[in-house]
Amino acid sequence: MENLDVMVLRTLRDWRAVGKRALMATVVRTWGSSPRPVGSIMALCEDGSVVGSVSGGCIEDDLIYRFTQAYAGKQPGHAIPSGPPTFVKYGVTADEAHRFGLPCGGTLELLLEYDPDARGLTELVRALEAGQLMQRTVRLSDGVATLAPAPGPTGLEVDETQVVNTFGPEYRMLLIGAGQLTEYLATMALFSGFAVTVCDPREEYRGTWNVAGATVLADMPDDVVAAFKPDRRSCVVALTHDPKLDDLALLEALKTEAFYVGAIGSRRNNQARHQRLIEHFDQTRQSLARLRGPIGIYIGSKTPSEIAVSVMAEIIAVKNGVQLPRDMEVGQAKDVLAGK
């Protein structure tokens, strides 16, 4: 599954390119608990079609009812309006929070943009597909949107005159090795919105690969990492257990800004890997500090599918800036169980 923001923007672009009326809703503020974070977007077409999400579904239903022809037979006159953007709040009272499926005390505010410019959307989607991080600034007085490269990931900003939202290219995952564990992890990454690339020079493993949507390469892993150019929205995971394939690729990945670099293996294998890299590749404990292993969170996993759940959970936590408790780390948890 592709990045949700890109999917919403691409669909909205297509609607507007053929002259369909549409609106874009952006979560600009939340109070208390909220189903979707600030910056989340959805698009609504005049026929009632929806892509993306700003809630669990009830707010989307209300927007369809208020602004489209989907209910024209029962409520004539419902249509997407024209003019500058407007703000709308949901969940101000306890009754509204319950009605719209918001958590107790939850309130959110949306910016509604009517008929966003198709050319601007086309330019934004093209930049995101090219891997650029972009800022989209909407002027509240008239809805005119401007684009500029973003210096780095930032949260949504709103003031009396404008709303600035940063859109990033899709997250990418590079997996070294095409075994069974990789198939499970690649599947989970794809439906989590990652673009997945799998590298394995071993034909016997590539020949049985069976996950649609992932790019499969046969080059040596360290060359693939260099060509992949991992950035802050990339992760690199080595899964072969073969030092000839994993070690150089991991060293190449550690030179980059990848938010996650890790390798499968037991605590003993992880220690042996660090020792190899220090003795033979002039590494230090400090230079290897970012190298994760044993990877995953401790859930007592035994099967490839359970291990993939463990690894994917850790990757998502790191991506989202969540500091996991030490007792969830595989090595720490096993030490506790062993009475160390």
User: What is the model's pTM?
Assistant: 0.73
Q: Compute the average pLDDT of residues 21-38.
A: 86
Same-domain pairing of 159 and 184 = no
Write the pLDDT tens digit of every residue in 175-189. 999 999 999 999 999
On the question of pLDDT at 1 being above 50, the answer is no
Determine the residue type at 340: K
Same-domain pairing of 55 and 188 = no
The predicted structure's pLDDT at residue 309: 97
- Residue that terminates a domain, selected from 148, 167, 186: 167
Q: How much is the mean pLDDT over the chain?
A: 88
Same-domain pairing of 186 and 291 = yes
On the question of pLDDT at 302 being above 60, the answer is yes
**Under 8 Å between Cβ of 300 and 273:** no
Write the pLDDT tens digit of every residue in 113-148. 999 999 999 999 999 888 888 999 999 999 999 999
Q: Compute the average pLDDT of residues 288-314.
A: 93
Same-domain pairing of 144 and 217 = no
| Band of residue 337 on the pLDDT scale cut at 50, 70, 90 | low
Go through the chain and tell me how many residues it has.
Answer: 340
The predicted structure's pLDDT at residue 340: 59
- Residue that terminates a domain, selected from 167, 191, 216: 167
The residue with tokens 């003019």 is 83
- Residue that terminates a domain, selected from 167, 198, 220: 167
Half-sphere exposure of 59 toward its Cβ, with a 13 Å CA cutoff? 29
Q: How far apart are CA 257 and CA 264, in angstroms?
A: 20
Same-domain pairing of 176 and 304 = yes
**Under 8 Å between Cβ of 235 and 209:** no
Cα 304 to chain centroid distance, Å, stands at 23
Write the pLDDT tens digit of every residue in 225-267. 999 999 888 999 999 999 999 999 999 999 999 999 999 998 8
Same-domain pairing of 11 and 152 = yes
Same-domain pairing of 142 and 17 = yes
Same-domain pairing of 188 and 284 = yes
Tally the domains of the chain: 2
The predicted structure's pLDDT at residue 336: 57
Same-domain pairing of 143 and 179 = no
The residue with tokens 């096993």 is 334
The predicted structure's pLDDT at residue 339: 62
CATH of the domain at 277: 3.40.50.720
Who's near 324: CB < 8 A, 6+ residues apart?
Answer: 297, 314, 317
Q: How far apart are CA 304 and CA 177, in angstroms?
A: 14
Q: Compute the average pLDDT of residues 206-225.
A: 94
Same-domain pairing of 42 and 183 = no
Helix (H, G, I), strand (E, B) or coil at 194: coil
- Give me the domain span that covers residue 65: 4-167
Q: How far apart are CA 168 and CA 133, in angstroms?
A: 4
Write the pLDDT tens digit of every residue in 47-57. 999 999 888 67
The predicted structure's pLDDT at residue 232: 86
* Closest by Cα among 96, 13, 93 to 59: 96
Tokens matching residue 282: 């002039």
On the question of pLDDT at 218 being above 50, the answer is yes
On the question of pLDDT at 66 being above 80, the answer is yes
How far CA 52 is from CA of 10, 107, 312, in Å, comes to 11, 19, 23
Same-domain pairing of 244 and 265 = yes
Which DSSP letter does residue 183 get?
H
- Name the maximum alpha-carbon separation found in the chain: 76
Q: Which residues pair with 168 in a beta bridge?
A: none
Same-domain pairing of 323 and 179 = yes
| Band of residue 330 on the pLDDT scale cut at 50, 70, 90 | low
